[in-house]
Structure 1
């Protein structure tokens, strides 16, 4: 007989173990995200896929906050994160650490994520932009390349946390 697994049957690791487990070489950069729900959901997804770190830039809200926690369900305690007021400082630092910086944005130079080859020997940082404006104009020229997610319907964009989840999964698949 099929049944839903109970929490204790999922064999999830605790926060202390999570901190010691090898992470995938992926950093998620949130550029001026307004919604605390999007921030919390991004933390929760980053926890699920063992993302190395989240960098909160500009006006992006920071934990601890009740509204972030509602979506994160504790992932703000497991996933490493930092705040950087200036997106370009964050990008410069990531590049100095050997990360290739990928903007998730519809641009004149973007490629579909299905056409982007993820090299498992590289470290990546993905930048997710503001819910209305996208990635800030001042950051565009500092990003190495751009990818977008194919969309077949009438809308021209996805929710930031949904987009982030798709992108994190595409990168996580390479290292699993």
Structure 2
């Protein structure tokens, strides 16, 4: 095996990225305090053609040098919008028939490996604060809560890692089902 050069990766240009068909996934970052986590989510969103990121509450917005440090330019490709109140956003997205999925540990949560994507459905994935997680009010207003199975002693993942795991899983399921 030979490691590929950057010139061999067939990357999209910024203009091509903006016009290519996106994955039926939206990300909502609710009160994320770490600028590096925000930048990492942008980079993951670029990699998997996420339709849009909503930045809510105390979540910082681009342009910001600390977000840029981990986003590596993906704040220029991935569509984003700041909405102060997450519940207002969720109510708006529900009127557009978007299924709200909080990623959290909760009673009756659906384990990620058991979550099945539905045809013709767009999903909004809510990721919460690094310490407090997704607020109970947001959980209450979600259509489903998805939990990442964990087997060690900590039972928590960094928000950017959680985002990568969940987005990859749903992206794979959507693509394998041609959705």
Alignment TM-score > 0.5, same fold: yes
1:109–1:145 CA contact under 8 A, matched in 2: no
Once the two structures are TM-superposed, the CA of residue 3 in structure 1 deviates from its matched residue by 2.1
SS of equivalent residue, structure 1 residue 131: coil
Secondary structure class of the residue paired with 1:55: strand
Matched, 1:163 2:172: no
Query: What is the SS of the residue equivalent to 2:163?
Result: helix
Residue equivalent to 1:107: 106
- Residue matched to 1:47: 46
4+ aligned runs moved over 4 Å, structure 1: none
In structure 2, the residue matched to 1:72 is 71
Q: Which residue of 2 is the match for residue 27 of structure 1?
A: 26
The alpha-carbon deviation at position 28 of structure 1 amounts to: 0.4
Whether 1:89 aligns to 2:83 is no
Do 1:56 and 1:82's aligned partners in 2 also have CA atoms closer than 8 Å? yes
Secondary structure of 2:172's counterpart equals helix
Q: d(CA) in 1 for partners of 2:173 and 2:107?
A: 27
Structure 1 CA distance for aligned equivalents of residues 57 and 136 of structure 2: 13
Matches of 2:43 and 2:20, distance apart in 1: 16
2:147 match: 148
Stretches of structure 1 lacking an aligned partner (at least 5 in a row): none
Q: How many residues align?
A: 175
